[in-house]
Structure 1
Amino acid sequence: MAVNFTEENIRELRFRLEDAAIKSSERCLYQSAKWAAEMLDSLIPLNDYDTDPDSPMDITETPAGPQNPYLAVQDPLEASLESKEAYKYLLAKSYFDTREYDRCAAVFLPPTISPISLSTTSPNPKSRHSLTPQKGKTKAPQFTAGKDGSVTRNPYPKLSQKSLFLALYAKYLAGEKRKDEETEMVLGPADGGMTVNRELPDLARGLDGWFTERDEQGLADRGQGWLEYLYGVILLKGRNEAEAKKWLIRSVHLNPFHWGAWQELNDLLASTEDLKQIVDDLPQNIMTLIFHVHCSQELYQATEDTYQSLSELETIFPTSAFLKTQKALLYYHSKDFEEASHIFTDILISSPHRLDSLDHYSNILYVMGARPQLAFIAQVATATDKFRPETCCVVGNYYSLKSEHEKAVMYFRRALTLDRNFLSAWTLMGHEYIEMKNTHAAIESYRRAVDVNRKDYRAWYGLGQAYEVLDMSFYALFYYQRAAALRPYDPKMWQAVGSCYAKMGRIEQSIKALKRALVAGSYYAEDASQIGGAGRKILDPETLHQIATLYERLGDEEEAAAYMELTLQQETGHVAPEDDYTSSDNENDDEQSNAGTETKGRSRRGQQSFGTSNEEEEEPMYGTGVTATTSKARLWLARWALRHGDLERADQLAGELCQDGVEVEEAKALMRDVRARREGG
């Protein structure tokens, strides 16, 4: 989607973002208001190229806030209702701002006793069935009877959409607050699916009735997008994803500059296929382009198209910290940690109190082993706000890098106490429990992570690692395959899949998976070259040696020898013809065929050791040099040559082993055997 870049477009964009910031703030959607205001502030100035900054300007030429044509309420009925409710709305909003959510809702809606269980035991299992709101119109809505015995679908009094949204949003947050209070400690006995937001069923029924009545009155196209958004959120919480997607798409059509609706829609997309399916249903404007870039980053699509779209947006929002963060995360997913670190450093210099996405920056510094920088940003974050989830994750990463895993877990728990849906903390806490050998706690942490976000490859991979530690290879294989499906071009995922197959005795499938790891390594190198990497071909000697060993277990010594030769060639950087290792790319069995979806791969742990020792180029060629793996291959080939009567080759390889200082005794014994055969022959 190309961006039409004209002065009129910029002026309209300024009005739209101003309108979104004001209206989001009025409805207490503070994160969306902040996003719109930051994008508005980063917007390129009008007449940027032909105006001298020091020249006097006519202030009246610049449209002021009240002149914004998008700030006026378009619907006269809504304007009349809002005018009548103005004082009440101020009262309700003041209650909301002081976190008195029930009191806020009661300003506009009849007050009710909060639906909270007074017993300390787990809630009645039957109450869990009411968690899921009705799926669209398939179930008969539970209507309330009116005084005259008639059935009333809409349970709410006649209110403006603005007031109704604030009241229902306050009810929703009151339920979330009570749910968190009932849950108590992180990973405690009540944490998980046992506690639910008890307001959801009533909210779902009420909104369904309200929208049904609007449809019957022919007012469906006069919505403002806010209540549609809230209904989508409630349906999403009730696991009714198909209906939630429909209402969120409707919301972004009615109110495209409300970023919160786009974020909720992004959470519904588990793969690039999901994104492609809804593209045609979205409005065609700049917000859809921003959404597409954000989704591509969330799905780890560091493609040329993504970078091109991001560059176009940066010409319009040249100082946007949000867009810079998206670019940094794209580099991070492509394992270009240096470039990602530079971008985050620039953001921190220009906005030292900005904590958004700082947990990702700490992950990058952790992988790079940059302890002084990590300590510095931990101090900066703590000085800014000690009780933000991002700050707790940064400090947790710092302690993890110091191998103080108990302290790290304490800070990740603190982050989750502040926000139960903070994905980074669940995943990182799982990593810490793995380090502490507390496998069961790690599994529970990773499970919560994938509940929050199914696209988190690190959590799927972590689950695989945890079950592999427990020697439950079948489970480990399932989770590794999920991780590989999320990031098919990450060799580490396929190496893990291959290792599991080998443990289960499924040798042929293990070979296919390991060959796929070699192919993934090649794609990985090409992707790196597109974003400033050296463009090296990567062939991992360890993977090649594993394939050779598996062929030996199958009794196919010719193939085993071929892959041992290929392993040996990595010392000097010679790359074998691609046909030798890519032929199996289309041979995946049914269990691996679902891995064609591009998304994310690889655990944060173990990233530091990958992508250095096994890289080589074609011009000039850089090999790995002598390694323990290549020496094993040399010894195997020497024995194989001796068995097949190639004494010259066996003597040469054994001599090289003596020079390398690896397997020297074995090499000397081989040379003695060669000499004895020559003398005897």
Structure 2
Amino acid sequence: WELISTIAEGYRLLRSCACEDALSIFQSLPLSHQNSGWVVCQIARCYFEMNNYGEADVYYSQVRKVEPYRLEGMEYYSTVLWHLRKNVELAALAKELVGIDKTTSEAWVAVGNCFSLQKENDLAIKFFQRAAQVSPWCAYAYTLCGHEYVTKDELEKAAGCYRHAIVLDPRHYNAWFGLGMVYFRQDQWGLSLYHFDKACKINPMSSVLRCQVGKCFRESGQHETALAHCLAAVKLDEQNGRAKFEVAKVLVELERYDEALALLERLRDSTFADAPVYFLLSKIYKHTNKPGEALLNLMTAVDLDTSQIGSTGHMFAMGDESGANMMVAEDSTLFENSESNLDESESDSLCS
């Protein structure tokens, strides 16, 4: 009875999005139970919910070895492989799951993720709809379908999918978040914040969700409130470079350039150094009358953006990149010459 109670408590914590606590409980079980397929699958799910896709991959791979015919939970494994951009492994998983049972949502979600990774959005939608057809109660299939519609900029269809997912599972925070993103893209800040707040109440430990709330406040001009939420996001996950970048953007809006510069320079020296970091650095150097440094960072941003073109898909739930090329196009007079006369336009990019 004590063993069952412990496992049940771990599962309750996982469903309550208290993933670190759930992980501690599952990993405290006797090895004979800890290494069972079901428990290993729950451990993998904990890492998945914590956005630690590398560790999730390790444990889901272990599940496949222990119970090669397990279908439960494999839809999340396919999403892990999607995030890790493991094309071959994802295709193999999808083929295996369809071979085991083609009447399950897990199999068709994996196929949909496979096509999504190849940027075949219409085919991905078709297979996510197939997953919902064979398992009408599968909220996750509707949510992924919504993500694909967002990628195609068909926001009304996306909103319909998210609403259906919420009806099926009111605690499915991914759907609340997706619906918030739809309103965010439509500049409806009030509705966006309402849905993000719903998602945060279900999963209060998510740094990504908290950061998105901060971004929404920033877009609506409430910079001090935005800063508080973004700092809270960083506190929840010190490894969340997107949240740190959002903090820097708010600091720039508040004209606290020294603080923003210090933070961005740390990001630049980390693995998070992508195009928007260098672009924002160029804006700070522009405002601090360092046109040479501004030009150098802008050119680096353009070079990086060119090499990063093509990263799309339902990662939009983690943010959306306008890209340095778009920023330069919108800010065509950023430099009247290579040394000075920096333009004052306020180009921006969205990332989390």
Deviation at 1:543, TM superposition (A): 3.1
- Partners in 1 of 2:126 and 2:241 — Cα distance? 42
Alignment correspondent of 2:262: 569
> In the alignment, does 2:10 pair up with 1:293?
yes
For residues 541 and 375 of structure 1, do their structure 2 counterparts lie closer, same or farther at Cα, with a shift above 3 Å needed? same
Matched, 1:320 2:36: yes
Distance 1:668 1:517, change over 3 A: same
Structure 1 match to 2:88 = 372
The 2-side partners of 1:350 and 1:498 are apart by: 42
Conserved in 1, the CA contact under 8 Å of 2:22 and 2:46?
Answer: no
1:330 is aligned to 2:46: yes
Q: Does 1:311 align with 2:15?
A: no
1:445-498 Cα distance to aligned partner (Å, 9 max, x none): 111212222222210111011223334332122112212333344443334333
Question: Does the 8 A contact of 2:213 with 2:229 survive in 1?
Answer: no
Paired position in structure 2 for 1:656: 293
Letter in 2 for 1:298: R
Per-residue CA distance 1:151-174 (angstroms, 9 max, x = gap): xxxxxxxxxxxxxxxxxxxxxxxx
1:630 correspondence with 2:281:
yes
The answer as to 2:250 corresponding to 1:541 is no
Distance 1:658 1:471 in 2: 31
Judged with a 3 Å threshold, the aligned counterparts in structure 2 of structure 1 residues 361 and 544 are, in CA distance, closer, same or farther, namely same
Task: Number of aligned residue pairs: give it.
Answer: 307
In structure 1, runs of 5+ residues without a counterpart are: 1-12, 14-284, 529-535, 552-559, 575-610, 616-623, 639-652, 672-681
- Quote how far apart the aligned CAs of 1:626 are: 6.5
1:361 aligns with 2:106: no
The answer as to 2:135 corresponding to 1:419 is yes
Distance change (3 Å), C-alpha of 1:636 and 1:333: same
1:381 offset after TM fit, Å? Answer: 0.7
CA deviation profile, 1:269-299 (whole Å, cap 9, x unmatched): xxxxxxxxxxxxxxxx332221111121222
Does 2:141 correspond to 1:470? no
1:657 maps to amino acid: A
| 8 Å Cα contact 1:522-1:537 kept in structure 2 | no
Describe the shift of the 1:484–1:626 C-alpha distance in structure 2 as closer, same or farther (beyond 3 A): closer
Pick which of 486-495 and 407-416 moved more. 486-495
Secondary structure of 1:312's aligned partner: coil
AA aligned to 1:629 is L
Distance 1:632 1:358, change over 3 A: same
Give 1:514 shift: 3.2
Deviations 1:413-439 (A, max 9, x none): 222222211121121111122223322
RMSD between aligned alpha carbons?
A: 2.9
Match of 1:522 in 2: 235
Aligned-partner Cα distance in 2 for 1:384–1:633: 56
Amino acid at match of 2:101: D
> Which one of the candidate residues 613, 626, 633 is aligned to 2:272?
613
State the Cα distance separating 1:613 from its structure 2 match.
1.0
Query: Structure 1's 351 and 315: CA in aligned 2 closer, same or farther, altered over 3 A?
Result: closer
**8 Å CA contact retained: 1:635, 1:654:** yes
Determine if contact 1:570/1:625 at 8 Å carries over to the other structure.
Answer: no
Q: Which amino acid aligns with 2:119?
A: S
Equivalent positions of 1:148-159 (< 5 A) are: none
Equivalent AA in structure 2 for residue 480 of structure 1: F
The percentage of counterpart residues that share the same residue type is 23
Residue 540 of structure 1 aligns to a residue whose secondary structure is helix
Which protein has the larger Cα radius of gyration, Structure 1 or Structure 2?
1
Distance 1:369 1:454 in 2: 30
How far apart, CA to CA, are the structure 2 residues paired with 1:391 and 1:626?
Answer: 39
User: Aligned partner of 1:613: which letter?
Assistant: F
Question: Of residues 215, 224, 228 in structure 2, which corresponds to 1:511?
Answer: 224
Instruction: Report how far residue 499 of structure 1 moved.
Output: 3.7
Aligned counterpart for 1:381 among listed residues 76, 94, 97: 97
Any idea what SS the aligned residue of 2:96 has? helix
Provide the C-alpha distance between the structure 2 equivalents of 1:314 and 1:388, rounded to a whole number of angstroms: 32
- Cα 1:538–1:462 shift into 2, 3 Å: closer
Q: Any residues of structure 2 matched to 1:177-576 within 5 Å, and which?
A: 285-303=2-20, 305-504=21-220, 507-508=221-222, 510-525=223-238, 540-549=244-253, 551=254, 560=255, 562=256, 564-573=257-266
CA distance in 2, matches of 1:631, 1:355: 49
Unaligned runs of 5+ in 2: 300-333, 343-352
Residues 473 and 500, structure 1, Cα contact 8 Å, conserved in 2: yes
Report if aligned partners of 1:522, 1:539 keep a CA contact under 8 Å in 2.
Answer: no
How big is the shift at 1:664? 5.7
Letter of the aligned partner of 2:226 in structure 1?
A
Separation in 1, partners of 2:121, 2:297: 39
Rounded Cα–Cα distance in structure 1 between residues aligned with 2:262 and 2:79: 35
Decide whether the 8 Å contact of 1:363 with 1:397 is kept in 2.
yes
TM-score by length of 1: 0.42
Using a 3 Å threshold, how does the CA distance of structure 1 residues 471 and 655 change in structure 2: closer, same or farther? closer
- In 2, the alpha carbon distance for the partners of 1:437 and 1:655 equals 38
Taking structure 1 as reference, are residues 626 and 313 closer, same or farther at Cα in structure 2, changes over 3 Å only? closer
